[in-house]
Amino acid sequence: MSRAGPVAAVIALADRFGRVATDLRVSLTDRCNLRCTYCMPAEGLAWMPQPEQLTDDEVARLVRIAVERLGITGVRFTGGEPLIRRGLVGIIAEAARLDPRPKLSVTTNGIGLDRLAASLRGAGLDRVNVSLDTLDPDRFHALTRRDRHADVLSGLRAAADAGLTPVKINAVLMRGVNDDEAPALLRFALEHGYQLRFIEQMPLDAQHQWDRRAMVTADEILTALTPFDLQPDVVSRGTAPAETWLVPGHVDAAGEPARVGVIASVTRPFCGDCDRTRLTADGQVRNCLFATEESDLRKLLRDGAHDIEIAEAWRVAMWGKRAGHGIDDPAFLQPARPMSAIGG
């Protein structure tokens, strides 16, 4: 049962370094219907027991607290794979009814999006990010251990048709695996009016086998895109994680200049401008993707805490955020949770 408590002014999620979190990433499940080699082993993982996962009502309440009391203006639902969460459409509908209304997005592998895109749009979803690392079906099968490449392409088309725009593609390049596909992926995105974002592979795999030497860097990606004569983007990235470049001679689905982005979390960290806070599927606040500590909001919820108490615990959790993720620090420790359990 919700215990909202008295109406209070918004008090921002600030940290000791002057950063303010306005972007909430909500993981709805740690489960996934792919087995990407850079994320988890072929047999999958030990999934979170259902009673530990937040209920739909609990997710909706925490999102409401974040928006109404903590100044969150954007909410992205992630996983695992969020499309396999049965209550996803209802959760989005609840978030869309909030005042002020946050921008709502989903990061997905695209499987099932062809069936759900229209319903998600109807519920109030604004846009989607779809993961697609290769245009080769055989290579996709090798990377994901599943034969679902055609389903991802269908999902992209359905998202565009439903108006979930701009449709963004997230691609991770891996040395000796798909590092030759940067130009082809960009051409594909340009032809269909999608926005492409390359992401440097990060140390968030369940196997803890990440190797910096195998990572394709931002500089290497940009070198591979030299034939497109990319131009610096005149629009400031602000707190966005992607550095973007204009692609001369091309426009996106909205008629705006086409852009391609690179999220260089490892070689060009943007920690100083980070505006994100994260909520795991079991109700833990993570103040950084690479945090090694979490703060439990689920217990507060289930113990009957007022919204004010929950909001204050969230603020305390964010106040302790570190200046940076420290991947280059010899003392860096990879988080115990893999990406599938944290949420992107």
HEC string of the chain?
CCCCCCCCCCCCEECCCCCEECEEEEECCCCCCCCCCCCCCCCCCCCCCHHHCCCHHHHHHHHHHHHHHHCCCEEEEECCCHHHCCCHHHHHHHHHCCCCCCEEEEEECCCCHHHHHHHHHHHCCCEEEEECCCCCHHHHHHHHCCCCHHHHHHHHHHHHHHCCCCCEEEEECECCCCCCCHHHHHHHHHHHCCEEEEECCCCCCCCCCCCHHHECCHHHHHHHCHHHCCEECCCCCCCCCCEEEEEEEEECCCCCEEEEEEECCCCCCCHHHCCEEEECCCCEEECCCCCCCCEECHHHHHCCCCHHHHHHHHHHHHHCCCCCCCCCCCCCCCCCCCHHHHCC
Q: Say which residues have a Cβ less than 8 Å from residue 145's Cβ, sequence separation at least 6.
A: 34, 35, 36, 37, 42
Do residues 208 and 180 touch, judged by C-beta distance below 8 A? Answer: no
Instruction: Quick: pLDDT tens for 135-163.
Output: 999 999 999 999 999 999 999 999 999 99
Confidence (pTM)? 0.90
Instruction: Quick: pLDDT tens for 294-342.
Output: 999 999 999 999 999 999 999 999 999 988 765 655 455 555 555 555 6
- What's the chain's Rg over C-alpha atoms? 19
Q: What is the mean pLDDT of residues 173-187?
A: 95
Q: Return the bridge partners of 198, or none.
A: 171, 262
Instruction: Quick: pLDDT tens for 197-236.
Output: 999 886 554 455 556 667 899 999 999 999 999 999 988 7
For residue 6, which amino acid is it?
P
> Which of 204, 148, 166 has its CA nearest to residue 34?
148
Instruction: Quick: pLDDT tens for 107-122.
Output: 999 999 999 999 999 9
Q: How many residues does the chain have?
A: 344
For residue 253, which amino acid is it?
A
Q: What percent of the chain has pLDDT over 90?
A: 69
